[in-house]
Amino acid sequence: MKYSIFSLARAALSGHKNWQRTWRDASPKDHYDVVVIGGGGHGLATAWFLASEFGIKNVAVLEKGWIGSGNAGRNTTIIRSNYGLPGNTGFYELSMKLWERMEQDLNYNSMVSQRGVLNLYHSDAQRDAYARRGNTMRINGIDAELLDQAALKKMLPFLNFDHARFPVQGGLLQRRGGTARHDAVVWGYAHAASELGVDIIQNCEVTGFVRDGNGKVTGVETSRGKIGAGKVGMAVAGSSSRVAAMAGLRLPIESHVLQAFVSEAIKPLIPGVMTFGAGHFYVSQSDKGGLVFGGDIDGYNSYAQRGNLPVMEDVCEGGMALIPMIGRVRLLRQWGGIMDMSMDGSPIIDKTPVDGLYLNAGWCYGGFKATPASGFVFAHLLARDESHKEAALFRLDRFQRGAMIDEKGQGAQPNLH
Amino acid sequence: MSNSAIPSSTIRMEDASVAEFSWDIRSPIERALVVGPYGALGEAGVSLTEIRNFDLVQVMARRGKAAEMTKPAKARFGVAAPEMPKAVSTADATLIWSGPDQFFVLSKGGKHTTEALVQTFASSASLSDQSHARVLISISGPKGRMMLAKLSSIDLHPDAFPAGAAATTSMDHTSVTLWRGNDRPDGQAVFNVLVFATFAESLWHTMLDSAAEYGVEIGHSEDLA
Amino acid sequence: MRIVCPFCGERELSEFSYLGDAKPQRPVANAGEDAVYDYVYLRDNVAGVMAENWYHGGGCRAWLKVTRNTLTHEISAVEPTAGAGAAKVGA
C-alpha cells in the first residue's frame, strides 16, 4: 500500500482496522537471481536498490531473526558525512544525499532529522586537525563549519567549557548531519523492496553454501531448505566471519561488542549530535527525550550481544566531563551490538575469491550512517560485477596490498577503531 | 644580570637567569598535602598519613632463578619472602609481594637499601631502587575501609583481607600496591598504598574526595606504620 | 566479566588488557608476504571457545592465556603465559 495523507484519512475513517502489513512475510522460492544474506539495513537497502535502480526484482533477503532484531533496531542513529580520507569522503556523502531523499524514495517516514553533528575540540592541535578535516569536506562539496568557543557558548551553554584538562575550545559542525529513526529505516526499505517484489524471508538462517563443480556458489542451504541463487551477497555485520567460513574464507575482521545507552526522558537539552573530543563519548537526544549515547567498543572479541561495566563507566565519565549536569539523569537501558571490526576501520564491499559470492562487511561501529550508500553500491556490484566508483577503494585485498583506509590514523588493529 | 644592557643572545650560560634547582628530597605530594582536618566536621572518620623518607627496593628474580632467590632472602630477613599476595613484617623491614617472583623491601634508616642488598641477591635477582619513585600513603580510622571500598574492587572485609594481605591492583585507573599492616593499638585496621610518584597527587585528591564525607585527618610521618 | 588471575585472584575486567586470539604464531623471518599477511590481518574470529592473550596491566603485570567463550563470555581456564617470568610456568 502507498502511505499518504489520504491513506491515513481512509484508515482513520475505518477505525484503523484496515492497515495492511508493511511488507509481505514471504516464504522461500526455489531460486532467485540474487539472494542477500542478512535482513539488516544494508541487506534490505541492497535488495531495494537491486529492484529499483538495477531492474533485478527476483531477489530474496534472508534474515535469521526478524527484521529489526539486530543492530538496526538498537543503534545510536547517527548520520553524517564528515570523513577526511579518499575512499570514505565521497562514499559517505553519497550516503548523506541518499538519506536526504530516502523518505520520498521509500514512501516511508524514517524520521531523517538533519539536526547537525558537532565534533568538539579541546586543544589547538585538535582544532587544526578539525580545520583540515573541514577543508577536506568542503573541497569535496560537503558542508562543514569550524566553530569557536564563543559560538558554542551560544549554542550549548551547558558544556563544561572550563574543564581543567579538556576545555571545550570549539567544534567542527556538519549541519546536514543528524539522526534517523533506526528501525523505521529497515521497515521502510522492507516496505519499499517488498512492494517491488522482493521476498523478505524471516527466521531463515543460512547454514551453508551450495557450490557447483567449479566451486561457484549457486545457492544457500538454510533452516528453511535449499535456495538457489544466481549470485549471493553477504551483509551480515558481526556474523561476517561465521558466514564466510561456510565458504572456506577467512576475513580481516574481528567481531567486537559495542554498547549503546539510553537515559530516562528529560526536557529538550541537546539540539543535535555531539561528540566529546577528549574521550570517547557521543550523545544525541531522541524525540521522546531520552539521551542516546555511546562510546568505545569493549575491546575484546564477542558475539554475546552484551557488554561489561568498565566501558559503561568510561562512557559515563566522558559524559560527566563534558556535561556535568547530566550526572543525576538515570540510565534507562543498555545494549551490546556485535560489530564487524575491520583492521583499518573502513568497510569492505567487494567480490570474494569464491565465484558468485559477494561481501559487504567491516562496518565497525559506523554502519548505520552508511546504510543507503552501502545498499546502492553493493547492488551495483551485484548487478554489474564491478565496483561503484564511490566504493572502488573498499577492496578485500587492500590489506595485502598495503592500501588501507585508516581514517582514525591509529594503525591496523581492530580494537583501535 | 637582570639590569644588564647586554642583548640576551650574548649572555653567557653561566651568567644567565636559569631556574634554580633544589636537590632537597621532597615529597611528590608536598603541595597537595595540607596537614589538618578536611571534609566533614567532627571526629575524623579517616586518617590519611603520608609516610616520608623510606627505603624501597624492588627485588625481581632473574629468569628461571625464582627458587634460588628464596634462600638468600630468608637468610637476610629471617622470614621467607612472600610468594603470593602477602606482606610479611620483620623487626626492621616489610616484604610485600608485588607480582610473580618479585617483592618489595620496605624499610627505614638505610639498613636495607639497594647497596645493602646487592650482595644478598647477586646470583638470583635484579634490584631496583624505588625509594623516590613511589609515595606511601597510610589509611586508617573507623571509616578507612569504607573510603577505600569506593576506590577499589578488592574485597577489603576483614575475613577476605586480614592483616598481612596484599594486592597489586588499580585504584581510579592507577596502579597501586595495597597491603594491610598490623592493626593499631586501638584495634583499627591500617591499609597502606604505594603509588607511582607522578600519579600520587591525582590519587591523593581522589582519596580526599572519597573520604571527605567522613571527615579526614591529614598528616605526614617519618615512621612506618 | 571477571578474570581469576592465577597470581592475584579474582579481579575486575578493567585491570586487564586484551591482545586477542592466542593461536596465531609470528611467522619466521623469511616466511614470505602471504604468511605475514595471514598473521597480521586474517582472523579465525572464533564464535565459541577461544584461547586468548590477556595482560594484567592493572595488577601483577603477568601475561595470561585465558580460555573464554565468545558467545557467552564464560571463562573456563586462566593460565600464566609461558615465559612470563613466573616460576609457576618454569620459565
Query: CB neighbours (10 Å) of residue A403?
Result: 12
Structure confidence at residue B13 as a pLDDT band (50, 70, 90): low
Query: What is the extent of the structural domain holding A330?
Result: 117-176+255-342
Whether A89 contacts A391, CB under 8 Å: no
CA angle A165, A76, A393 (to 5 degrees): 90
The pLDDT of residue B4: 46
CB contact residues (below 8 A), chain C span 22-41, against chain B: none
CB contact residues (below 8 A), chain C span 44-83, against chain B: 57-62, 80
For helices A41-52 and A367-384, give the axis angle rounded to 10 degrees: 40
Q: Which chains touch B (3 or more CB pairs under 8 A)?
A: C
pLDDT tens figures, A253-277 = 999 999 999 999 999 999 999 999 9
pLDDT above 50: residue A191:
yes
CATH of the domain at A170: 3.30.9.10
pLDDT above 60: residue A80:
yes
Do C14 and A400 make contact, defined as CB atoms within 8 angstroms?
no
Do C62 and B99 make contact, defined as CB atoms within 8 angstroms?
yes
Where among A342, A374, A403 does a domain terminate? A342
Please check whether residues A93 and A226 belong to one and the same domain. Answer: yes
Q: How many domains does chain A have?
A: 2
Contact B153/C at CB under 8 A:
yes
The pLDDT of residue C91: 36
Render A199-230 in DSSP notation, one character per residue: EEE-S--EEEEEE-TTS-EEEEEETTEEEEEE
Which residue spans of chain B are classified as CATH 3.30.70.1520?
Answer: 55-129
Q: Searching chain C, which residue's CA lies closest to the CA of residue B165?
A: C8
pLDDT above 90: residue A224:
yes
CA–CA separation, B102 and B97 (whole Å): 6
Nearest C-alpha neighbor of A189 from the set A61, A380, A31, A350: A61
Please check whether residues A265 and A149 belong to one and the same domain. Answer: yes
CATH of the domain at C23: 3.30.2270.10
Structure confidence at residue B224 as a pLDDT band (50, 70, 90): confident
- Residue of C11, C13, C79 best to disrupt the B interface, most CBs of B under 10 A: C11
Q: Which of B100, B169, B175 sits opposite C85 (nearest CB)?
A: B100
Please check whether residues A285 and A354 belong to one and the same domain. Answer: no
Q: How many domains does chain C have?
A: 1
pLDDT tens figures, C58-74 = 999 999 999 999 999 99
Structure confidence at residue A355 as a pLDDT band (50, 70, 90): very high
CA–CA separation, C70 and A290 (whole Å): 31
Structure confidence at residue A417 as a pLDDT band (50, 70, 90): low
* Superfamily covering domain B55-129: Heterotetrameric sarcosine oxidase (3.30.70.1520)
Structure confidence at residue A407 as a pLDDT band (50, 70, 90): confident
Query: What is the extent of the structural domain holding C82?
Result: 2-89
Q: Searching chain C, which residue's CA lies closest to the CA of residue B70?
A: C87
pLDDT above 60: residue A347:
yes
Q: Which chains touch C (3 or more CB pairs under 8 A)?
A: A, B
Structure confidence at residue A350 as a pLDDT band (50, 70, 90): very high
Judged by average pLDDT, the poorest of A29-43, B146-160, C73-87 is: C73-87
Q: Searching chain C, which residue's CA lies closest to the CA of residue A314?
A: C14
Do B101 and C85 make contact, defined as CB atoms within 8 angstroms?
yes
pLDDT above 70: residue B2:
no
Do C45 and A343 make contact, defined as CB atoms within 8 angstroms?
no
Please check whether residues A241 and A216 belong to one and the same domain. Answer: yes
Structure confidence at residue A156 as a pLDDT band (50, 70, 90): very high
Q: Which chains touch A (3 or more CB pairs under 8 A)?
A: C
The pLDDT of residue B1: 38
pLDDT tens figures, B22-48 = 778 789 999 999 999 999 999 999 999
| Collapsed DSSP state (helix, strand, coil) of residue A253 | strand
Q: Searching chain A, which residue's CA lies closest to the CA of residue C72?
A: A304
The pLDDT of residue B180: 97
Share of chain A above pLDDT 90, in %: 94
Rounded to the nearest angstrom, the minimum Cα separation between C70 and chain A is 5
pLDDT above 80: residue A154:
yes
Please check whether residues A76 and A209 belong to one and the same domain. Answer: yes
Structure confidence at residue A82 as a pLDDT band (50, 70, 90): very high
The pLDDT of residue C45: 97
Question: Which positions ≥6 away from A39 have C-beta within 8 Å?
Answer: A61, A62, A63, A65, A66, A67, A186, A190, A200, A202
Nearest C-alpha neighbor of A316 from the set A297, A334, A336, A293: A293
Please check whether residues A27 and A104 belong to one and the same domain. Answer: yes
CB contact residues (below 8 A), chain A span 146-175, against chain C: none
Nearest C-alpha neighbor of A163 from the set A321, A314, A327, A328: A321
In a domain, A230, yes or no: yes
Do A301 and C20 make contact, defined as CB atoms within 8 angstroms?
yes
Cell 565519565 locates to A317
Please check whether residues A187 and A327 belong to one and the same domain. Answer: no
Please check whether residues A206 and A333 belong to one and the same domain. Answer: no
Q: Mean pLDDT, to the nearest integer, of A54-72?
A: 96
The pLDDT of residue B10: 56
Please check whether residues A371 and A385 belong to one and the same domain. Answer: yes
The pLDDT of residue A282: 97
**Average model confidence (pLDDT) across chain A:** 95
* Strands lying side by side in the sheet with A273-276: A145-148, A170-174, A117-121, A273-276, A281-285, A290-301, A253-265, A331-342
Please check whether residues A273 and A166 belong to one and the same domain. Answer: yes
CA–CA separation, A140 and A393 (whole Å): 17
CATH of the domain at A373: 3.50.50.60
Contact C39/A at CB under 8 A:
no
The pLDDT of residue A410: 76
Where among A342, A375, A397 does a domain terminate? A342
Please check whether residues A59 and A158 belong to one and the same domain. Answer: no
CA–CA separation, A159 and A289 (whole Å): 18
Q: Searching chain A, which residue's CA lies closest to the CA of residue C15?
A: A310
Contact C20/A at CB under 8 A:
yes
Render A48-106 in DSSP notation, one character per residue: HHHHHTS----EEEE-SS-TTSSGGGSS--EE-----STTTHHHHHHHHHHHHHHHHHH
The pLDDT of residue A408: 82
CATH class name, domain B36-52+132-221: alpha beta
Q: Which of C46, C52, C73 sits opposite A304 (nearest CB)?
A: C73
Do C70 and A255 make contact, defined as CB atoms within 8 angstroms?
yes
φ, ψ (nearest 5 deg) of residue A32: -130, 155
Helix, strand, coil distribution of chain B in percent, nearest 5: 20, 30, 50
Structure confidence at residue A415 as a pLDDT band (50, 70, 90): low
Q: Searching chain C, which residue's CA lies closest to the CA of residue A312?
A: C14
Whether B19 contacts B195, CB under 8 Å: no
CA distances, B62 to each of B69, C8, C75 (Å): 9, 20, 31
Whether A388 contacts A53, CB under 8 Å: no
Q: Mean pLDDT, to the nearest integer, of A92-121?
A: 97
- Those residues of chain C that have pLDDT short of 70 are 83-91
Do C13 and A309 make contact, defined as CB atoms within 8 angstroms?
yes
Query: What's the ipTM?
Result: 0.93
CA–CA separation, B215 and B94 (whole Å): 30
pLDDT above 70: residue A118:
yes
φ, ψ (nearest 5 deg) of residue A416: -95, -10
Which residue spans of chain B are classified as CATH 3.30.1360.120?
Answer: 36-52+132-221
| Cβ pairs B/C, distance under 8 A | 55
